[in-house]
Amino acid sequence: MAPELLKLDLLSVFYGHLNASLVPTPPASGTSPIASDMGKIDCAWVSLVALTKLGNVIYPPHPLVAVADIEKPSLGAWEGVFKWCLFMYTTRVVSDGTPIAPKLRRSAMDIIGGVLYSLSRSNEIRKVMADTPGSIELATRLWIIEDEPAVPSGLSIPVNSAALDGLLTIPDWKPEKSIGENDTPKTPKQQEEEDKLETTAISRREAARNMLNRVVAAAGGSPAHVVEMALSRLRTATSTNARMNEPRTPIFLDLIGHLSRVSDHQFRLGFLSEGMTALAAKLAVQAVGLLDALSASGGGRASQIALHRSNPAVSPPEEGLHGALIASLGFLCNTLESTDGFTWVIKAVSAGLLQAWVGAARHMHRFDNREDADMIISILNKIVPKYMVYKSVVTNVESAIRKINEDGAAQDWKDPEAMKVWKTFQKMTLERYMIGVHMKMVKNKAVICDNFKVKIVH
Nearest partner of 166 among 116, 107, 109, judged by Cα: 116
| Residue 187 pLDDT grade (very low, low, confident, very high; cuts 50, 70, 90) | confident
> Does residue 96 register a pLDDT over 90?
no
Is residue 142 within 8 A of residue 113, CB to CB? The reply is yes
Question: Could you say which DSSP state residue 2 is in?
Answer: -
**pLDDT by residue (tens digit) across 344-399?**
999 999 999 999 999 999 999 999 889 999 999 999 999 999 999 999 999 999 99
> Does residue 413 register a pLDDT over 90?
no
**pLDDT by residue (tens digit) across 271-298?**
999 999 999 999 999 999 999 998 888 7
Q: Which residues pair with 390 in a beta bridge?
A: 451
Q: Averaged over 205-231, what is the pLDDT?
A: 96
**pLDDT by residue (tens digit) across 43-63?**
999 999 999 999 988 888 878
User: What is the residue type of 312?
Assistant: P
- 86 vs 29: CA distance, rounded Å: 16
Distances from the Cα of 454 to the Cαs of 306, 340, 441, in angstroms? 50, 16, 18
Is residue 281 within 8 A of residue 356, CB to CB? The reply is yes
Longest dimension (CA), the chain: 91
Which of 5-9, 162-166, 401-405 is the least confident region? 5-9
Task: Determine the Cα angle at 236 with ends 230 and 238, to 5°.
Answer: 100
User: What is the residue type of 429?
Assistant: T
Question: Could you say which DSSP state residue 153 is in?
Answer: P
| pLDDT for residue 179 | 54
Q: Averaged over 152-169, what is the pLDDT?
A: 95
Phi, psi at residue 63, to the nearest 5°? -65, -20
Q: What is the enclosing helix (H) or strand (E) of 407?
A: helix 391-407
| Residue 455 pLDDT grade (very low, low, confident, very high; cuts 50, 70, 90) | very low
Q: What is the enclosing helix (H) or strand (E) of 219?
A: none
Distances from the Cα of 41 to the Cαs of 33, 219, 368, in angstroms? 9, 29, 41
> Does residue 200 register a pLDDT over 90?
no
Q: Averaged over 195-223, what is the pLDDT?
A: 88
**pLDDT by residue (tens digit) across 305-354?**
334 445 655 777 888 999 999 999 999 999 999 999 999 999 999 999 99
Q: Identify which has the larger pLDDT, 420 or 313.
A: 420
| Residue 202 pLDDT grade (very low, low, confident, very high; cuts 50, 70, 90) | confident
Q: Identify which has the larger pLDDT, 2 or 418.
A: 418
Which of 64-73, 83-92, 339-348 is the least confident region? 64-73
| pLDDT for residue 438 | 65
> Does residue 114 register a pLDDT over 60?
yes
Highest mean pLDDT among 64-68, 430-434, 437-441: 430-434
pTM equals 0.88
Alpha-carbon dihedral 399, 403, 406, 408, rounded to 10 degrees:
-130
Is residue 266 within 8 A of residue 172, CB to CB? The reply is no
Q: Identify which has the larger pLDDT, 146 or 6.
A: 146
Q: Averaged over 192-218, what is the pLDDT?
A: 85
Which residues have C-beta within 8 Å of that of residue 345, sequence separation ≥ 6? 336, 383, 384, 387, 393
Q: What share of the chain is helix, strand, coil (3-state, %, to 5)?
A: 65, 0, 35
Is residue 353 within 8 A of residue 283, CB to CB? The reply is no
| Rg over CA atoms, the chain | 25
Q: Identify which has the larger pLDDT, 431 or 245.
A: 431
**pLDDT by residue (tens digit) across 220-262?**
999 999 999 999 999 999 998 888 888 999 999 999 999 999 9
